[in-house]
DNA sequence: GTAATGTTTAACCATTTGGTTAAATTATTT
DNA sequence: AAATAATTTAACCAAATGGTTAAACATTAC
């Protein structure tokens, strides 16, 4: 049944996501994925023939449906540079926070399969150069001080992603293991990061 | 022979480091580590009984000898907040750049063994609170604008670590796969990150 | 109701991999 | 030279794991 089909496939994908993220591809066990999905190994292979194929699917979903399209579109839509930075930080921190597994997943993938993600990004039509150009333009117009615009972009991305990727390190060290405190902290970051950057680059 | 002993043990540790970082613990193969070290599997087990023990050794070295002691001492020595930020960024970017495997290694470890690293940090006597307090003091003195000092610290760490961890993603996207360009970029970051922060928080 | 599809069970296979062992060889020490 | 330690070779084992298969059962479609 189509209805049931989707449900099971969804269940599998979510389970696979969880396990692949927690354990990494190599350490992830098909049995555990099946268990997490509430089905058995045979059915798991019935839907996704191999571990590789399953991983491929998960990766594809994470990248194509969660990361690429939504995130960077903002950069095209927003006119003002400062508003753009705000939108970006707000949305990016939000997405990452909702899917805290993404950064690690992506970072791990990057290092084991360097070309795949960068190709995906490069082929996605994401106008990185346009973003860079936008910063450049703002510099030329005297709105922000002059620096390598890539530094700004890297700073922005770093500050959005890292705190989530390093969550398990920050939690005990900075937040006494209080998850609510950490959540509040991340919530504040949505505006904080943008303000931090704007404060730094505005003239 | 003591001389040879150290050499072989060193070779093994370096090889293990390389492989563990590139592949992650689970995907790392003892055979590959042996090959990388230029020895055979039997000798590998002769020195380090098991994969777990070997990993433990590598992790211990990375954390204790490379990360913890050197990095944060600066924070105690430097008087001026701005100088402190400069020293920190300079040193941190430098260390990470020299050992670009560290961030991923640590991040992976964090997520598979959440307590170990944070315990290490907490038990290392590193005065995180003092760092926070230093920012706080600078705020009280009206030297920097008021924010959650943890935000500053997290920003600092994020901007130092992330660009290296995401190296393989940034390289093709922002630097046309030019390693020299990327290296220049990171070299500049040593001062750039500090300036970026100071510019943002100074009054 | 019957065919098709989804799902379970459970046994099974092939491969990979961590780890061992024992014997032979080479280098070091004393 | 003799003893000791380092290193290699190569065969081997046990466990884990990805993946298969076939038969039975359940559910849904037509």
Domain that holds residue B35: 1-49
Instruction: Output the six-digit token pair for A41.
Output: 């190994």
Residue B118 at interface with chain A, using a CB cutoff of 8 Å: yes
**Strand partners of residue A144:** A202
Cβ contacts of B14 within 8 Å, gap of 6 or more: B37
User: A75 and A25 in one domain?
Assistant: no
CA dihedral A144, A148, A151, A154 (to 10 degrees): 100
Minimum Cα–Cα distance from A122: chain B residue: B173
- Cα gap A191→A176, rounded to integer Å: 23
For the cut 80, the answer to whether the pLDDT of residue A48 exceeds it is yes
Q: What is the mean pLDDT of chain A?
A: 83
- List of residues 6+ apart from B181 with CB closer than 8 A: B175
Of the two residues A67 and A14, the one the predictor is more confident about is A14
Say what the pLDDT of residue A2 is: 40
Six token digits for residue A26:
């190599």
Q: Are A82 and A149 in the same domain? A: yes
Pair (B104, B187) in one structural domain: yes
B32 located within any domain: yes
Nucleotide with C1' nearest the B1 CA: C28
Question: Which pLDDT belongs to residue B99?
Answer: 74
Q: Out of A112, A115, A158, whose CB is closest to B162?
A: A158
Q: Which residue did the predictor score with more confidence, B31 or A78?
A: B31
Domain CATH code at residue A40: 1.10.10.60
Q: Do B23 and A128 touch (CB under 8 A)?
A: no
Check residues A59 and B47 and name the one with the higher pLDDT. Answer: B47
Reading the block at residue A116, the tokens are: 């795949």
The alpha helices in B51-148, defined as continuous H runs, are 51-60, 68-77, 81-98, 102-112, 114-123, 128-140
- Domain total for chain B? 2
Return the bridge partners of B144, or none.
B202
Greatest CA separation for chain A: 63
Question: Has residue B81 been placed in a domain?
Answer: yes
Predicted local confidence at residue A16, as pLDDT? 93
**CB-nearest partner of A158 from B112, B148, B159:** B159
Q: What residues in chain B have per-residue pLDDT under 50?
A: 1-5
Distance CA B173, CA B169 (A): 7
- Inform me whether the C-beta atom of residue A68 falls under 8 Å from chain B C-beta atoms: no
CB A171 within 8 A of CB B175: no
**How many whole angstroms separate alpha carbon A202 and alpha carbon A188?**
21
Backbone angles phi, psi at B202, to 5 degrees: -65, 155
* Predicted pLDDT at A119: 73
pLDDT tens-digit map of A134-167: 899 999 999 999 999 999 999 998 999 888 888 8
- CA nearest neighbour of A50 among A5, A7, A16: A16
Give the residue-averaged pLDDT of A168-176.
84
CA dihedral angle for residue B146, residue B148, residue B150, residue B156, rounded to 10 degrees: -50
- Residue B60 inside a domain? The answer is no
A27 within a domain of the structure (yes/no): yes
Angle at A104 between CA B117 and CA A189, to 5 degrees: 85
Contact between residue A194 and residue A90 where contact means Cβ atoms under 8 Å apart: yes
**Nearest CA to CA, how far is B173 from chain A (Å)?**
7
The radius of gyration of chain A from alpha carbons, rounded to an integer in Å, stands at 19
Q: Looking at the domain assignment, is residue A60 inside a domain?
A: no
Residue B58 included in any domain: no
Tokens of A48: 């996704």
The domain that holds B76 is classified in CATH as 1.10.357.10
What does the alpha-carbon distance between residue A180 and residue B123 come to, in Å, rounded to a whole number?
Answer: 24
DSSP characters over A29-84: -HHHHHHHHTS-HHHHHHHSSSHHHHHHHHHHIIIIIIIHHHHHHHHHH--SHHHH
The Cα A152–Cα B13 span in angstroms is 37
Contact A186, A86 (CB under 8 A): no
In this prediction, residues A64-68 reach a mean pLDDT of 63
Residue B9, min C-alpha distance to chain A (Å): 26
Structure letter (DSSP) for residue B177: T
Task: Give residue B190's Cα distance to chain centre.
Answer: 15
- Whether residue B156 lies within 8 A of chain A, CB to CB, comes out as no
Interatomic distance A5 CA / D26 C1' (Å): 15
Q: Report d(CA A133, CA A38) in Å as an integer.
A: 49
Give domain status of residue A59, yes or no.
Answer: no
Are both B79 and B123 inside the same structural domain?
yes
Residue B82 lies in a domain: yes
Same domain flag for A39 and A75: no
Predicted pLDDT at B37: 93
User: Both A31 and A116 in a single domain?
Assistant: no
Q: What is the mean pLDDT of residues A176-190?
A: 92
Say whether B185 and A26 touch across the interface (CB within 8 A).
no
Window 77-96 of A: residues touching B by CB (8 A cutoff) are none
- Is residue A100 domain-shared with residue A174, that is, in the same domain? yes
Residue B198 tokens, joined: 């100071």
| Tens digits of residue pLDDT in A95-141 | 778 777 777 777 777 767 777 767 766 666 666 777 888 899 999 99
* Residue A155 and residue B159 in contact, taking contact as beta carbons nearer than 8 Å: yes
pLDDT on residue A54: 93
Q: Average pLDDT in the A14-42 region?
A: 89
């Amino acid at each position: 049944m189509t209805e049931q089909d989707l449900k099971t496939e969804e269940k599998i994908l979510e389970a696979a996501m969880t396990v692949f993220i927690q354990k990494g591809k190599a350490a992830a066990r098909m049995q555990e994925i099946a268990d997490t999905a509430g089905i058995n190994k045979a059915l798991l292979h019935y839907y996704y023939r191999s571990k590789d194929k399953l991983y491929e699917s998960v990766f594809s979903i994470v990248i194509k449906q969660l990361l690429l399209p939504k995130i960077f579109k903002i950069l095209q839509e927003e006119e003002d540079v400062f508003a753009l930075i705000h939108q970006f930080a707000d949305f990016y921190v939000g997405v990452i926070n909702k899917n805290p597994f993404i950064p690690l997943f992506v970072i791990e993938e990057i290092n084991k399969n360097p070309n795949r993600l960068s190709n995906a990004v490069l082929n996605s039509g994401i106008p990185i150069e346009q973003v860079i150009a936008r910063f450049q333009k703002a510099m030329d117009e005297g709105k922000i001080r002059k620096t390598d615009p890539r530094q700004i972009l890297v700073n922005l991305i770093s500050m959005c992603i890292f705190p989530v990727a390093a969550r398990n390190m920050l939690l005990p060290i900075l937040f006494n293991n209080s998850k609510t405190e950490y959540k509040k902290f991340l919530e504040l970051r949505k505006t904080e990061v943008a303000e931090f950057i704007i404060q730094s680059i505005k003239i």
